[in-house]
Amino acid sequence: MTLPGSPFLSYRGQELFLEDCSLNELAARHGTPLYVYSQAAMLAALAPYQRGFAGRPHLVCYAMKANSNLAVLQTFARAGCGFDIVSGGELERALAAGADPRKVVFSGVGKTRAEMRRALEAGVLCFNVESEAELEVLSEVAVACGRVAPVSLRVNPDVDANTHPYISTGLKGNKFGIAHERALQAYRRAAELPGLSVAGIDCHIGSQITAPGPYLDALDRVLDLVEAIEAAGIVLHHLDLGGGLGIQYTDEQPPAADALIGQLLARIDARGHGHRTVMMEPGRSLVGNAGVLLTEALYLKPGEAKNFCVVDAAMNDLMRPAMYQAYMRIEPCLRRDEPAASYDVVGPVCESGDWLGRDRELAVRAGDRLAVLSAGAYSMSMASNYNTRGRAAEVMVVGAQAHLVREREAATELFRGEHLLA
């Protein structure tokens, strides 16, 4: 039986497999909490992007904030992807994984001068600039370094992505990008500043988008600006349409990436912009359904209002339920032929918000292992050491082979660098 979200995750008999690896056996071998990723699922998610752009000048830049494990980055670098980064640390990770800096775009609202200098030294493809003040600072840094910074201005089109407010980024009230009505003025300033070279235009309206409408609305507004900017004598070489395509957590039905790209390219061509390079920055849609979080049931705790299944994974391992009230499917690694009961699946952290799932029907006993599905994106990358808990180990499976790609943190590592008073 194949589960929703990924054809690479399925039950064989009573046992849950990711590709050809038993998740119960991986949990026994490596301990829990444990993140496990399918390389085949990642490449299968990338394929429709590559098909959709076939024959067109393009660049798919993986938005590595979704999952920045080096083995994940290596997988996409080898597949020809560029990278969308939002910090100096992400730049160093991408380079360590073998990324070509000429395929790296540097986004983010708060780039520091040190981060700008390092990115210029590395030779990144483009800076996605998010404010007029950032233009001034980047110009100063580039001139001081004796370099030219290629820039693309991230425009805020004031389009509602119809998603969770915390991951909506294209409305007037969001902190991201330059307001649509100020974009032409900002481009004129960028064109006259020393040390800058205008390369393109960028737009990203949010995450977990499940319909093409918001993309098309945003694209129309961006193309209006492109025409106004070029009428002012400023040439734009690329259109960066951002990322944000959703995945299936429950019953969502987002469009296939190649279908979405087809609609976007048709709109671009119809308005006479088919000669431009088109870029996209998918993150969640490449890795979200490629990963699971494995956890062990520690205690079953009956209560008058609720039954609790207390597990060893917690909100420090998986922040999405606590932060976004996100639904993530939970399945046993080894199914029991017993009646199920309703449980809130909760962790050991001292917060009432520490839950992974509410009101889940599970046939479970203490010692059983559970898999939290669709945990490949914004899960390990958002993990913390709250309650002095070491972050989980990570494994990548390739067929029947399982590779440990991150070791579990030991307690002594968590306070290395701290010092007692004399």
CB neighbour class for 263 (10 Å; exposed up to 12, middle 13-18, buried from 19): middle
Torsion of CA 6, 9, 11, 15, to 10 degrees: -160
Taking the C-alpha atoms of residue 377 and residue 375, their distance in angstroms, rounded to an integer, is 6
Neighbours of 351 (CB within 10 A): 14
For residues 296 and 294, what is the distance between their CA atoms, to the nearest angstrom?
Answer: 7
Q: Which is catalytic among the residues 21, 61, 203, 350?
A: 350
Rounded to whole angstroms, how far apart are CA atoms 416 and 388?
A: 12
pLDDT digits (tens, 9 = 90+) for 202-256: 999 888 899 999 899 999 999 999 999 999 999 999 999 999 999 999 988 999 9
Residue 4's beta-bridge partner residues? none
Q: What is the pLDDT of residue 161?
A: 55
How many C-beta atoms lie closer than 10 Å to residue 417's C-beta?
Answer: 6
* Structural tokens at position 43: 């490449």
Kindly provide the b/e burial profile for residues 139-155, where b requires at least 16 CB atoms within 10 angstroms of the residue's own CB: bebbeeeeeebbbbbbb
Element (H, E) at 41: helix 39-52
Q: What was the pLDDT predicted at 306?
A: 92
Query: What are 381-416's pLDDT values in tens digits?
Result: 999 999 999 999 999 999 999 999 999 999 999 999
In the structure encoding, which two tokens stand for residue 420, read together?
Answer: 């007692």
Single out the residue of 270, 266, 376 nearest to residue 43, CA to CA. 376
Phi, psi (degrees; rounded to nearest 5) at 183: -65, -45
Q: Which residue in 302, 345, 421 sits closest to 33, CA to CA? A: 345
Residue 286's CB is within 10 A of a number of other CB atoms, namely 32
| Domain chopping of the chain, boundaries | 9-38+288-407, 108-280
Write down the pLDDT at residue 86.
97
Q: Is 419 helix (H, G, I), strand (E, B) or coil?
A: coil
Neighbours of 306 (CB within 10 A): 13
Active site residue 350: yes
Asked: is 108-280 a CATH 3.50.50.60 domain? The reply is no
d(CA 294, CA 21): 13
Residues of the chain with pLDDT under 70: 1-2, 160-175
Q: According to the model, what pLDDT value does residue 167 have?
A: 41
Q: Which helix (H) or strand (E) holds 228?
A: helix 213-231
Q: Say if strands 308-311 and 291-301 run parallel, antiparallel, or are unpaired.
A: antiparallel
Alpha carbons 95 and 73: distance in angstroms, whole number = 9
Q: Are strands 393-398 and 149-156 parallel, antiparallel or unpaired?
A: unpaired
- Which CATH homologous superfamily contains domain 9-38+288-407? Lyase, Ornithine Decarboxylase; Chain A, domain 1 (2.40.37.10)
Q: Are 298 and 311 in contact (CB under 8 A)?
A: yes
Choose among 245, 222, 212: nearest CA to 63: 245
The per-residue DSSP string of 340-386 comes to -EEEEEE-SSSSTT-EEEEEEEE---TT-EEEE-S-SSSSGGG---G
Can 9-38+288-407 and 108-280 be said to share one CATH topology?
A: no
- CB-based contacts of 409-413 (< 8 A; 24+ apart in sequence): 409/385
Q: How far apart are CA 128 and CA 110, in angstroms?
A: 11
Count CB neighbours of 233 within 10 A: 8
Q: So what's the pLDDT on residue 159?
A: 73
Buried b (16+ CB within 10 A) or exposed e, 375-404: bbbbbbbbbeeeeebbbbbbbbbbeeebee
Query: Residue 352 and residue 68: Cα distance in Å, rounded?
Result: 29
